[in-house]
């Protein structure tokens, strides 16, 4: 590669030049009879999935063939999560295993990015304890990955820029969290469902959450750019578009034009084509009457709402800095159901937050029975270094937290099964998966985002109508039927 030795710092090579240099390298491999391959390993949330699709797009642009295993890869990019300790440890375990693969292929390049790698202590650990890793990159440096790869291929040193950044977001320069360029290539993981990021970062600073420190402040994409991306996806046959943000309800703050989240949804729903829109995640304090109205009035917006409550105790909600009470949360739920009686509701709940008493936990169980969610995503509290909650006194034992977690699931599983059984006999529109499951049977998701196991003939990635014939706690069974008149 023709990069002068005095210019092999990643920040000395702009992205376009880096792509050209790496393509030169991959073309040389191809000419020698070796097909260069890249594998992107993803941990964490939907935003990470969307980021990984950009990473895969960059790999493809640089001349790598995207594969789904690390064993045959020449380039491995690991996109990590930092929301819970378990996610970090799982990622570190897989990164450690890459050492043995690289021993068989010393020319393999390994980069680690995402939320975990954006944390100073973890980036330093990668640098010191994982010598087979070539570089790390933060959530704000995805577009620089070609420069990191080009520098390393040219003989540059191992590079861990996140290790030199402050842990606390308040001290982090705004330029570090610059927006992604709009022209990044994307290799999507599905041919029928697509993620579309509408904003990045978070301003809420819940006391347990590391996200504002690793993804920075809220930055909203321009509505015209979002609309153009959704139009292209619909024209290419995508049937479901999920809008992503750490708090989509606060979309639009800081934009030059007066477009908030309800206005954006209304704008996207006017696009011609057969598709539906989902969004995640929402913060209860920002759910407005206008948002509820727009959802109720537009058939293209799925009647499904993921609204994290985290706890049913006002005392714990205050300690979490959630900025709402249980009663104000219930009022939002009641307004959603009044406007859309058939809406599917899901939530997040943290069990065992520092200081949680038995009475606090009972308030959470009361919230489950009051709201009657279709499904919950629940987690035992995991302290994150650098967050205020990590310094709070935690007097609960692991056994106590586990026992509460089991009680929570017992209550919710009964509610979920009861609600699913109530759908037996309903005729619902289902978007089929891109391919049949391992058992050869096609599955799909209904408007409420519930998995439906289908009987009958169905094309992949298309809308079908199905009569629900049976129900399990986390699975519906349906038979394909003609569209209703």
Higher pLDDT, 233 or 4: 233
Find the domain containing 474 and state its range.
427-481
Q: Do 448 and 403 sit in the same domain of this protein? A: no
Residues 210, 255, single domain; the answer is: yes
Residues 6+ apart with CB under 8 A from 97: none
Tell me the C-alpha distance between 410 and 420, whole Å.
Answer: 16
Residue 353 lies in a domain: yes
Q: H or E segment at 477?
A: strand 475-481
82 belongs to a structural domain: yes
Q: Which helix (H) or strand (E) holds 301?
A: none
Contact (CB, 8 A) for 375 and 416: yes
Domain identity same for 284 and 311 = no
Do 23 and 35 belong to one domain?
A: yes
Is 183 inside any structural domain?
Answer: no
| Averaged pLDDT, 81-104 | 94
Residue 250 inside a domain? The answer is yes
Question: How far apart are alpha carbons 66 and 69 in whole angstroms?
Answer: 9
Looking at residue 121, its pLDDT comes to 85
- If one counts the domains in the chain, the total is 4
Among the listed residues 340, 267, 264, the one whose alpha carbon sits nearest the alpha carbon of residue 302 = 340
Look at residues 128, 153, 177 and tell me which one is the last residue of a structural domain. 177
Q: What is the pTM of this model?
A: 0.93
Task: Give the model's pLDDT for residue 9.
Answer: 72
Q: Are residues 45 and 96 in the same domain?
A: yes
Both 363 and 411 in a single domain? Answer: yes
With bands split at pLDDT 50, 70 and 90, how would you rate the model's confidence at 4? low
* 394 and 434 part of one domain: no
**CATH number for the domain including 163?**
3.40.50.12160
pLDDT digits (tens, 9 = 90+) for 260-303: 999 999 999 999 999 999 999 999 999 999 999 999 999 999 99
> Do 47 and 163 belong to one domain?
yes
Judge whether 245 lies within some domain: yes
Please say which residue of 302, 333, 363 terminates a domain: 302
Confidence of residue 84 (pLDDT cuts 50, 70, 90): confident
Highest mean pLDDT, choosing among 77-91, 211-225, 364-378, 435-449: 364-378
For the chain, counts of helices (H) and of strands (E): 13, 18
* Spacing of C-alpha 126 from chain mean position: 23
Average pLDDT value for residue range 185-206: 95
175 pLDDT above the threshold of 70: no
Say if residue 136 is in the same domain as residue 226: no
Q: What is the CATH number of the domain that holds 363?
A: 3.30.750.200
Residues 250 and 348 in one domain: no
Beta carbons within 8 Å of 179's beta carbon, 6+ residues apart: 200, 219, 221
Residue at 185 is within a domain? no
Kindly report the CATH number assigned to the domain that includes residue 264. 3.30.750.210
pLDDT at 253: 85
Same domain, 33 and 146: yes
Residue entry with tokens 């990164």:
95
The last residue of one of the domains, among 375, 406, 422, is 422
Give the mean model confidence (pLDDT) for residues 165-184: 51
Tokens read off for 375: 């499904």
CATH code (residue 472): 2.40.50.140
Residues 326 and 230 in one domain: no
Q: 212 near 169, Cβ under 8 Å?
A: yes
Predicted confidence band of residue 71 (pLDDT cuts 50, 70, 90):
very high
């Amino acid at each position: 590669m023709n990069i002068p030795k005095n210019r092999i710092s990643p920040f000395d090579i702009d992205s376009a030049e880096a792509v050209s240099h790496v393509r030169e390298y991959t073309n040389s491999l191809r000419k020698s009879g070796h097909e260069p391959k890249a594998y992107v390993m993803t941990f964490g949330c939907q935003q990470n999935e969307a980021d990984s699709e950009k990473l895969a797009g960059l790999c493809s642009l640089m001349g790598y063939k995207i594969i789904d295993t690390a064993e045959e890869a020449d380039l491995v990019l690991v996109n990590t999560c930092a929301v819970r300790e378990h996610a970090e440890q799982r990622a570190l375990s897989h990164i450690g295993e890459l050492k043995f693969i690289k021993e068989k292929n010393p020319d393999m390049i390994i980069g680690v990015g995402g939320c975990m790698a954006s944390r100073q202590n973890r980036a330093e650990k990668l640098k010191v304890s994982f010598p087979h890793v070539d570089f790390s990159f933060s959530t704000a440096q995805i577009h620089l990955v070609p420069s990191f790869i080009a520098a390393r291929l040219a003989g540059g040193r191992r590079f861990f820029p996140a290790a030199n950044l402050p842990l606390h977001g308040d001290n982090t320069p705004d330029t570090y969290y610059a927006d992604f360029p709009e022209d990044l290539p994307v290799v999507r993981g599905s041919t029928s469902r697509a993620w579309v990021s509408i904003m990045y970062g978070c301003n809420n600073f819940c006391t347990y959450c590391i996200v504002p420190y690793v993804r920075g402040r809220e930055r909203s994409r321009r509505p015209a750019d979002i609309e153009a991306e959704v139009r292209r996806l619909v024209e290419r046959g995508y049937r479901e578009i999920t809008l992503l943000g750490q708090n989509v309800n606060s979309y639009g703050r800081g934009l030059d034009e007066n477009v908030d989240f309800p206005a954006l949804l209304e704008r996207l729903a006017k696009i011609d084509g057969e598709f539906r829109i989902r969004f995640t995640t929402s913060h209860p304090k920002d759910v407005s009457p206008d948002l509820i109205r727009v959802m109720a009035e537009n058939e293209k917006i799925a009647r499904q709402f993921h609204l994290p409550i985290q706890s049913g105790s006002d005392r714990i909600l205050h300690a979490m800095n959630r900025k709402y009470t249980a009663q104000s949360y219930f009022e939002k739920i009641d307004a959603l159901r009044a406007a859309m009686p058939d809406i599917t509701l899901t939530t997040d709940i943290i069990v065992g937050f520092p200081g949680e008493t038995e009475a606090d936990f009972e308030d959470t169980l009361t919230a489950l029975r009051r709201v009657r969610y279709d499904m919950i995503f629940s987690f035992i509290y995991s302290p994150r270094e650098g967050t205020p909650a990590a310094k709070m006194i935690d007097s609960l034992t692991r056994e106590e937290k586990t026992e509460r977690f089991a009680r929570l699931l017992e209550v919710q599983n009964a509610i979920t099964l009861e609600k699913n059984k109530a759908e037996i006999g309903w005729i619902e529109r289902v978007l089929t998966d891109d391919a049949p499951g391992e058992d050869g049977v096609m599955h799909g998701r209904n408007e409420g985002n519930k998995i439906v196991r289908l009987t009958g003939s169905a094309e992949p990635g298309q809308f079908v109508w199905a009569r629900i014939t049976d129900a399990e706690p986390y699975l519906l069974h349906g038979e394909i039927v003609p569209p209703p008149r």
